[in-house]
Amino acid sequence: MKFIRFGEPGSERPGMVDSEGHHRDLSEHIFDLAGEALAPDVLARLAEIDPAELPLVPDGTRLGPAVARPGKIVCIGLNYADHAAETGATPPKEPMIFMKATSAWSGPNDPIRIPRGSEKTDWEVELAVVIGRRAKYISEAEVPDHIAGYAVMNDVSERAFQKERGGQFTKGKSADSFAPFGPWLVTPDEVADPQALSLWAEIDGHRYQDGTTADMITPVFDVIAHLSQFMTLEPGDVIATGTPAGVGLGVKPDPVFLKPGQAVRIGIEGLGEQEMQTVAD
């Protein structure tokens, strides 16, 4: 199944995508796509509903982030060897973890807001995983039972804030609109192998990133099991699993960064695409 949230920011309602690609309203069956409502058994129950019996969402209705604002956005840094190489970093011996502020949460087609004082705002297409069941000290074999679904996420990053302004990565990762998420939450039954998905990013029609999740240093299930040893993952938490080569920082000889007025398009095979414009904040 493919689940969506639609409506104005802060007033989104849950929905689903039918077999013909039409958006359907699920709000009579579930309050929102958040927390315990993301448990695998709840999503399985929703999947049994006949989409033809659900109201159609009017064409042109805004899509919000495919799940409600999570309790945590956990990101994995340098999880593709080619990305580590292009940025001059040494791949870590175990997953590098940093957090992204939940106030960065944004819809898949909402504008990316270039922060005041920004000189180096960058893009990062990433496979995101949404937790559906509380996970603590779980093994790799147990991970599939704890996943609600997968989605596209852009880990938008301001590199000067991240690398030149002191502190940890979070400072450069957390501006408003720096976590576009969606368009869909895709349930695991539609993702045969999370390590066999192509993912890409285009800026003004030029494809900069063109990779595959097969190139992850630490695979998705290992990442989640690893995280569960250090923190309890709650239903609705989101894990962004890293980005392949092709970010603006890695462009040679001169890095390329986002400026207001540009078109950004990113996507992952089977999980949909995001299309947005950059604007000044």
- pLDDT given at position 82: 87
Cα 276–chain centre separation: 15
What are the structure tokens assigned to 81, written together? 């060897």
Question: pLDDT tens track of the chain, all 281 residues?
Answer: 999 999 999 999 999 999 999 999 999 999 999 999 999 899 999 989 999 999 999 999 999 999 999 999 999 999 998 898 888 888 889 999 999 999 999 999 999 999 999 999 999 999 999 999 999 999 999 999 999 999 999 999 999 999 999 878 999 999 999 999 999 999 999 999 999 999 999 999 999 999 999 999 999 999 999 999 999 999 999 999 999 999 999 999 999 999 999 999 999 999 999 999 999 99
Alpha-helical regions (H) of the chain: 40-47, 81-86, 159-164, 170-173, 220-227
Task: Quickly list H helices, 116-270.
Answer: 159-164, 170-173, 220-227
The tokens of 182 are what?
Answer: 């969606």
| Block residue for tokens 């340098």 | 78
| Residue-range domains of the chain with CATH | 63-280 (3.90.850.10)
Q: Which two structure tokens, joined as six digits, stand for 234?
A: 């709650």
- Residue 19, pLDDT score: 95
Predicted pLDDT of residue 249: 95
Can you say how many angstroms the Cα of residue 224 is from the centroid of all Cα atoms in its chain? Answer: 15
Rounding to the nearest 10 degrees, give the CA dihedral for residues 255, 260, 265, 271: 110
- The Cα–Cα gap between 38 and 235 comes to 6
